Structure 1
Amino acid sequence: MRISELSEETGVAVATIKYYLREGLLHEGERTSTTQARYDTSHVARLRLIRALIGVGGLSVATARDVLDRLAEPPESLHELLDTAHPPLRPQPDEEVDTTSAAEVLHELGWELRTAHSEPVRRLAAALEGLDSAGFPISREDVLNYARRMHQLAEAEVAGTPQDPGEALRYVVLGTILVEPLLLALRRLAHIELSGRLLP
């Protein structure tokens, strides 16, 4: 198909498609002349993925490119993949954040983290520090209950991870980017439903 047909098929403007081509998010089509190219279903699928990452996922073009690069080169070990595949969706937490409270929570949960990456622990520590500094009281038991519920969700997700490294990487990365907004939306809707029913 020509670029105009690709645009019609995907609902993405021709100018936007050309921009994605220039930025390296979308692979080149098969050249039929110096100014024309032919595109196929792989371009349709890739464009839909790009639009999901940038639209629903809210990623910048640079972060979307990083995600797509990760999808192209999956690690061999599934544990390594799960450990490293999550893209940096938010600014990195401060390297100097005190992780004592986070370590205490993890110890109480009995979670043994087999990872060389400190970023998830620092992110938990920064979240706990933010709650504390804002004077928003969440008890340790509430934090542990949140963690246990997340662990149940993670059990189902890890069990559903495909064995093929390429498919597994896609599952983990897109599951992070596209499922987290779903979880937050469902949590907010549950709050609205319950508050309307239970609160005066």
Structure 2
Amino acid sequence: MRMAELSTDTGVPVPTIKYYLREGLLPPGRPVGRNQADYGPEHVRRLKLVRALAEYGGLSIAAIGELVRHLDDPEISDNNLLGLGQLMVTARQEPLPGPHVERARRALDELCARRGWKDMSEHPAYATLVGVMASLEDLGHEAMLASLPEYAEAAELIAEADMRVVGELGDRERTLEVVVLGTLMGDTLLTALRRLAQANVALRRYGPK
């Protein structure tokens, strides 16, 4: 197919396709004449992936370019590719300075050790969690901190379910899309499920108003 057909099939405007080609996000088509190229199903899939990462994943062109380069590199293992995709959508928020930060860091390290989790101190989510734990202690919400082991157990069950979904795909492009978009949309999904569960548990414990 020519570029106009590629645009029609994917809904991506021709100028955007040309931009993605210049940035290396989309592989060049097969030359068929002067200033003409032919595009196939692999271009449709890649274009849809790039668009999804940009529009729904909120990733920058630079970040997508890095993911695409790793995606096309056979030396990059599937596990490293998935790890990179997750890191791309995980915000890092450093904890605010305060007396509770070191205690929170030690408590989190102990929790990870009890669960048999590897050292995650360099993961962006680690810094965010330390900050949240320190703030909870500073505000006097020790009861929530006491429930952290239960939260961690639930989180691990969710992570196992996530990995089952990823493991059944068997396609690097599709897997990367699921990891990036699934992480973002999955966070929203889990928040909504938690609210429903809270409402139902409250009804069981305290009855209707």
Assess same fold via TM > 0.5.
Answer: yes
Report the equivalent of 1:70. 70
Report the equivalent of 2:108. 105
Q: Equivalents in 2 of 1:169, 1:123: separation in Å? A: 29
Deviation per CA, 1:126-172: give whole Å up to 9, x if none.
34345566x494611333322211100112333555499x846863x
Letter in 2 for 1:114: K
Give the TM-score taking structure 1 as reference length.
0.75
**How much is the aligned-residue C-alpha RMSD, in angstroms?**
3.7
Query: Does the alignment pair 1:185 with 2:188?
Result: yes
Seq. identity, %? 27
Residue 30 of structure 1 deviates from its aligned partner by 0.9
Q: Are the aligned partners of 1:21 and 1:28 in contact in 2 as well (CA < 8 Å)?
A: yes
Q: 1:141/1:46 Cα in 2 relative to 1: closer, same or farther (>3 Å)? A: same
Indicate the structure (1 or 2) with the bigger Cα radius of gyration.
2
Unaligned 5+ residue runs, structure 1? none
Q: Equivalents in 1 of 2:68, 2:110: separation in Å? A: 35
Q: Equivalents in 2 of 1:183, 1:153: separation in Å? A: 10
Q: 1:150/1:33 Cα in 2 relative to 1: closer, same or farther (>3 Å)? A: same
> How many residues are aligned here?
196
Q: 1:161/1:82 Cα in 2 relative to 1: closer, same or farther (>3 Å)? A: same
Report the equivalent of 1:9. 9
What secondary structure sits across from 1:37 in the alignment? strand
What secondary structure sits across from 1:24 in the alignment? coil
Give the TM-score taking structure 2 as reference length.
0.72
Q: How does 1:93-132 map to 2 (within 5 A)?
A: 93-94=93-94, 98=101, 100-108=103-111, 110-114=114-118, 118-119=122-123, 120-129=125-134
Q: How does 1:19-58 map to 2 (within 5 A)?
A: 19-58=19-58
What secondary structure sits across from 1:32 in the alignment? strand
Unaligned 5+ residue runs, structure 2? none
Letter in 1 for 2:189: L
Deviation per CA, 1:31-61: give whole Å up to 9, x if none.
1223111100000000111111112211111
Pick the aligned partner of 2:155 from 150, 154, 168: 150
Report the equivalent of 2:86. 86
Q: 1:192/1:149 Cα in 2 relative to 1: closer, same or farther (>3 Å)? A: closer
What secondary structure sits across from 1:139 in the alignment? helix
Q: 1:157/1:141 Cα in 2 relative to 1: closer, same or farther (>3 Å)? A: same
